[in-house]
C-alpha cells in the first residue's frame, strides 16, 4: 500500500465517528499523490503526512450560561489548533447545533492549506460550539459569548491563535467575545478578527469572502476564455458569504437568481434584491419567507432545491455536503459550466468527481473562499501597525490575493501534469509551503 493510502487508513482508524474529517483528509491526501510520490522517502522518514493530519492540540470545554428565564444552559466549546508551521493559528468559530469535534477538525485541517494559499503568514485552526444563536436574545448571546471566552482566552492571543467568524458567528458575537477577552486579560490586541470598525476591525472584512469568491471565479473564467457578465448564477445560503457573493456578482454584470437558508429557498428570476436580503437576514434575522412576502417576483420553496434551477455558474455558500451527486447531475444537465465553493467542503467527493469528469470548471473552497481569512490577516496587519486602511486599499489587496491564488493553483496543477484540475492544484500549492516549513523547523 502506498504512503497516502496508509495514512488515510490510519486517520480513519484513529478518529472514529468523524466522517467530515475523514472526507477532508481523503480529498487533500489523494490529490497530493504526485508530490508525495516525488518525495516519498523524505516524507516517510519525516512522518510528514502523519504529523500534518494530527492537530497540534484539541481543546474541549464546558460553556455554562444563564438564559432569560434564569435557567442554566450548558454547551460544549472547542478549539482545534491544527498547525502553526507558517504563522499563528487562524480560523473561525462556528456556532451551530450540529458542531462536534469531527466538524471542527475538518474545518481546521482545510484551514491549514487555505491559509497557506493566501501567501500570508497564518497557520490553521478552527473552533466553535453546539450553541444555537437562532431565537436567542442579545443578552443570551452575550452570556454565552462571555462564558465561551472565560475558557478560550487561555489559549489565544494576537501572536498565538486569532479566531474569527464562521456560521452563526458575526460582528455581534465577535464584539461580545472581544470585550470579554479585554476584560479578563487587560490587553487591547488583535486577538480576534471581524471586529467592529470602531474597535480595530478592517473595512471590507464583512464583504471579503463573498467578494473574493467572485474575484477568483472571474479570473478562472477569464483564463478559460469565458466572461462572467450576463451569466445566470445560482447561490445557496443567505448569510455572510452568500450575501456579498450576490452583491459582487451583480456588480460584475451577472444575475444571481437564488439564495437559501436552513428551511427553504428563493427563486427570483428578476435577480436577488440584495438590500431586501440584507434587511431580512442581517437586520431582522428572519426567514426567507419574509423576502418572498416583500418581493412579488420571488418564489419561495420549502426544503432544498437551488441546484435544480437552470444556470451558467453555481456558488454553494451555505454549509458542508450541501451539493451531492444528484445535484451535480442536475447542474450538468442544465448547462452549468462552473462551480466555485464559497462554503467549506459544500460539494461531496462523488459530486466533485462527477463535475470534473464533465469538464465543469471547479474551484474548491480552500481557494475560492480564502478571501475571508486573507482579509482577516490584513486586519491583523492593520492592528499590529495601529493603522486602518481605506476600503479601496483592502479591496484591491483582496483582489490581488485572489487572482494570485488562482494562478498559483493553476500553475501547480500544470506542473504535476493535472492541468485544469484546480482541486489538485489548490491542495498541492497549499501543502508545499507548509511541508517545507515543517521540515525546516525539525521534529516538533
Ligand atoms: P452564516 O451563518 O452567515 O450563514 C450561513 C447560511 O447558510 C445561512 O443562510 C444559513 O441558514 C445557511 N445554513 C447554515 N447551515 C445550514 C444547514 N445545515 N443547512 C442549510 N442551510 C444552512 O455563515 P457564513 O455565510 O459565514 O458561512 C457559510 C459557509 O462559508 C460556511 O461553510 C463557512 O464555513 C464558510 N466560510 C465562511 C467565511 C466567512 O468569512 N464568514 C470564510 C470562508 C468560508 P439560516 O439563515 O437559516 O441560518
Ligand atoms: O472558513 C474560514 O476561512 C473562515 N470562517 C474565516 C476565518 C478567519 O479567520 O477569518
The tens digit of pLDDT for each residue in 73-86 reads: 999 999 999 999 99
Instruction: Report the pLDDT averaged over residues 315-341.
Output: 98
Task: Tell me the pLDDT band of 51, cut-offs 50, 70 and 90.
Answer: very high
Nearest residue (CA) to ligand 2, atom 3? 373
Compute the distance between CA of residue 342 and CA of residue 210 in angstroms, rounded to an integer.
7
Strands 161-164 and 255-256, sheet pairing:
unpaired
Tens of pLDDT along 28-46? Answer: 999 999 999 999 999 999 9
Report which bound ligand comes closest to the CA of 304: 1
Residue 172 has pLDDT above 90, yes or no: yes
Choose one of 92, 201, 366 to mutate for the ligand 2 pocket test, by most ligand atoms within 8 angstroms of C-beta: 92
Compute CA distances 283 → 13, 217, 280, whole Å.
Answer: 45, 29, 6
pLDDT tens digits, residue range 263-306? 999 999 999 999 999 999 999 999 999 999 999 999 999 999 99
| CB-ligand 1 contact for 200 (6 Å cutoff) | no
Place of cell 462572467: 228
Q: What distances in angstroms separate CA 259 from CA 141, 163, 180, 299, 307, one per listed residue?
A: 26, 27, 35, 11, 10
State whether the beta carbon of 379 lies less than 6 angstroms from ligand 2.
no
Give the active site residue among 126, 195, 255, 304.
126
Closest ligand 1 atom, CA of 107?
34
pLDDT tens digits, residue range 230-252?
A: 999 999 999 999 999 999 999 99
Pairing label, strands 72-83, 123-129 = antiparallel
Residue 292 CB neighbours (<10 A) = 19
pTM of the predicted structure, to 2 decimals: 0.98
What is the per-residue pLDDT for 80?
99
372 lines ligand 1 (CB under 6 A): yes
Verify whether ligand 2 is closer than 6 Å to residue 202 (CB atom): no
Residue 69 known to be catalytic: no
The average pLDDT across 190-210 equals: 98
Closest CA to 53 of 23, 86, 93, 96: 23
Residues found in the chain: 444
Q: In which band, very low, low, confident or very high, does the pLDDT at 410 lie, cut at 50, 70 and 90?
A: very high
Q: CA-CA distance, 267 to 269, in Å (whole number)?
A: 6
High-pLDDT (> 90) share of the chain, %: 100
Integer CA distances (angstroms), 5 to 1, 31, 165, 432, in order: 6, 11, 34, 19
Which atom number of ligand 1 is nearest to the Cα of residue 260?
9
The answer to whether 152 touches 173, Cβ cutoff 8 Å, is: no
Residue 400 scores a pLDDT above 90: yes
Section 104-110 average pLDDT: 98
Amino acid 1: pLDDT? 83
User: 343: CA distance to ligand 1 center in Å?
Assistant: 7
Residue 430 in this model has a pLDDT that exceeds 90:
yes
Mean predicted confidence (pLDDT) in 309-331: 98
CB 261 less than 6 A from any atom of ligand 1: yes
Question: Is 108's C-beta closer than 6 angstroms to any atom of ligand 2?
Answer: no
User: In degrees rounded to 5, what are phi and psi of residue 23?
Assistant: -60, -45
- For the CA of 261, the closest atom of ligand 1 is 11
Give the DSSP letter string of 270-329. T---HHHHHIIIIIS---THHHHHH-TT-EEEESS-GGGS--SEEE--S-TT-B-HHHHH
**Residue nearest atom 2 in ligand 1 by C-alpha distance:** 167
Amino acid at each position: 500500500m502506498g504512503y497516502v493510502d496508509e495514512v488515510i487508513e490510519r486517520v480513519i482508524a484513529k478518529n472514529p465517528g468523524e466522517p467530515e474529517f475523514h472526507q477532508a483528509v481523503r480529498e487533500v491526501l489523494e490529490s497530493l499523490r504526485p508530490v508525495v510520490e516525488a518525495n516519498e522517502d523524505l516524507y516517510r522518514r519525516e512522518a510528514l503526512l502523519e504529523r500534518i493530519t494530527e492537530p497540534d492540540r484539541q481543546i474541549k470545554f464546558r460553556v455554562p450560561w444563564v438564559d432569560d428565564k434564569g435557567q442554566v444552559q450548558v454547551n460544549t466549546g472547542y478549539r482545534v489548533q491544527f498547525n502553526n508551521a507558517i504563522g499563528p493559528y487562524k480560523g473561525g468559530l462556528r456556532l451551530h447545533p450540529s458542531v462536534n469535534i469531527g466538524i471542527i477538525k475538518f474545518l481546521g485541517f482545510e484551514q491549514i492549506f487555505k491559509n497557506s494559499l493566501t501567501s500570508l503568514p497564518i497557520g490553521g485552526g478552527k473552533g466553535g460550539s453546539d450553541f444555537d444563536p437562532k431565537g436567542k436574545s442579545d443578552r443570551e448571546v452575550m452570556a454565552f459569548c462571555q462564558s465561551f471566552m472565560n475558557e478560550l482566552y487561555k489559549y489565544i492571543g494576537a501572536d498565538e491563535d486569532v479566531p474569527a467568524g464562521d456560521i452563526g458567528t458575526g460582528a455581534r458575537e465577535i464584539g461580545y467575545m472581544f470585550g470579554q477577552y479585554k476584560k479578563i486579560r487587560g490587553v487591547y490586541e488583535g486577538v480576534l478578527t471581524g471586529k467592529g470598525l470602531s474597535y480595530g476591525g478592517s473595512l471590507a472584512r464583512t464583504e471579503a469572502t463573498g467578494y473574493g469568491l467572485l474575484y477568483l471565479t472571474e479570473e478562472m473564467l477569464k483564463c478559460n476564455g469565458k466572461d462572467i457578465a450576463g451569466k445566470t448564477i445560482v447561490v445557496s445560503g443567505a448569510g455572510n458569504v452568500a450575501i456579498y457573493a450576490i452583491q459582487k456578482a451583480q456588480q460584475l454584470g451577472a444575475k444571481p437568481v437564488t439564495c437559501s437558508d436552513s428551511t427553504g429557498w428563493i427563486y427570483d428570476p428578476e435577480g436577488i434584491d440584495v438590500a431586501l436580503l440584507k434587511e431580512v437576514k442581517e437586520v431582522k434575522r428572519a426567514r426567507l419567507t419574509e423576502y418572498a412576502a416583500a418581493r412579488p417576483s420571488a418564489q419561495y420553496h420549502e426544503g432544498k432545491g437551488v441546484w435544480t434551477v437552470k444556470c451558467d455558474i453555481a456558488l454553494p455558500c451555505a454549509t458542508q455536503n450541501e451539493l451531492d451527486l444528484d445535484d451535480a447531475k442536475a447542474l450538468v444537465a442544465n448547462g452549468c459550466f462552473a462551480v466555485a465553493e464559497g462554503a467549506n467542503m459544500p460539494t461531496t467527493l462523488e459530486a466533485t468527481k462527477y463535475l470534473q469528469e464533465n469538464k465543469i470548471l471547479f474551484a474548491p473552497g480552500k481557494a475560492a473562499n480564502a478571501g475571508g481569512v486573507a482579509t482577516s490577516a490584513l486586519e491583523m496587519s492593520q492592528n499590529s501597525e495601529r493603522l486602518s486602511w481605506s476600503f479601496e486599499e483592502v479591496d484591491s489587496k483582496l483582489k490581488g490575493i485572489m487572482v494570485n491564488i488562482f494562478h498559483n493553483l493553476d500553475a501547480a496543477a500544470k506542473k504535476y501534469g493535472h492541468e485544469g484540475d484546480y482541486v489538485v492544484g489548490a491542495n498541492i500549492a497549499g501543502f508545499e509551503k507548509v511541508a517545507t516549513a515543517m521540515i525546516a523547523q525539525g521534529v516538533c
